[in-house]
Amino acid sequence: MATADRILDIAENLVQTRGYEAFSYADISAALGIRKASVHHHFATKAELTRAVAARYRGVFADRLRALEREFPDPTRRLMRYLRLFQEALHDGDHMCLYGMLASDTQTLPAAVRDEVLGFFADQEKWLTGVIAAGRAAGEFRFDGKPAGTAAALFAGLEGAMLVARARGDVPYFAAVALRLVGALTSGG
C-alpha cells in the first residue's frame, strides 16, 4: 500500500476522532513511523491533505450508495442499509461522521475542504430524496410535502444522532434514534 494512501487513512481517522484543528503532522508522523518532513513530501500543506481526505471519502461513500441501489431495490431495505453505513462510520462510538466533524470546524476550514463538506451534504440529501420519493410512489412511505424536505430532516437527524452518540460513546443510542427518525419521517401524515 502506497505511503500517500496510508497517510490518508491515518488523517481520516484523526479528523473523525479529533477534528481538523486538533490533528497535526506530528500525529501522522508518529502513527506512520516516518518524519514530519516526509509527510509534507506527500501532502505539502494541511489544507491539501485534508481536502484529499475529504474528496476520497466522498467518492467512496458515493460508490457505496450506488452499491445499495444495485443490491437493494426495495426503498425500505435500501434506507435501512443506509442507516447501517452511518452506524459503521461511528466505529466503536468514538468516530464522528467525517463531514459532520469538518462542518463543526467550518469557520477555520480551508475553502476547498468546506466545498467538499457542502458537496457531501448535497450528495446525501439528493440520494435520500430519491429513495424517499421512490418509497412513497411504491406505497411504502407516507409523509406530507416534498420528498426533499423529509430527506433534509432525516439527514440532519442522523448527523445530530452521530454527534450526540459519539459524545456519549453510545452506539445503541444512535441505532435507536436513527430508527425512530426513519419511522416518524416516513410513516407520518
**Residues making contact with DNA (CB under 7 A):** 2-4, 23-27, 33-38, 40-42, 44-47
Residue (45 or 106) nearer to a copy of itself, CB: 106
Rg, the chain, Cα only: 18
Q: Of a copy of itself, DNA, none, which one does residue 42 interact with (CB within 5 to 8 Å by kind)? A: DNA
Site residues for a copy of itself, window 125-184 (CB under 8 A)?
Answer: 143-145, 149-150, 152-153, 155-164, 166-168, 173, 176-177, 180-181, 183-184
Specify burial of residue 165 (Cβ count, 10 A radius: 0-12, 13-18, 19+): buried
Q: Of DNA, a copy of itself, none, which one does residue 78 interact with (CB within 5 to 8 Å by kind)? A: none
**Exposure pattern of 125-157 as b/e (b: 16+ CB <10 Å)?**
bebbbbbbbbbbeeebbebeeebeebbbbbbeb
Residue (12 or 105) nearer to a copy of itself, CB: 105
Q: How far is CA 124 from CA 1, 6, 91, in A?
A: 30, 26, 20
Q: Of DNA, a copy of itself, none, which one does residue 17 interact with (CB within 5 to 8 Å by kind)? A: a copy of itself
Q: Of DNA, a copy of itself, none, which one does residue 167 interact with (CB within 5 to 8 Å by kind)? A: a copy of itself
DSSP letter string, 91-122:
TTTT---HHHHHHHTGGGS-HHHHHHHHHHHH
> Count of CB atoms within 10 A of residue 58's CB?
17
* Residues in contact with a copy of itself by the rule CB under 8 A: 17-19, 21-22, 94, 96, 100-101, 103-108, 114, 117-118, 121, 143-145, 149-150, 152-153, 155-164, 166-168, 173, 176-177, 180-181, 183-185, 187-189
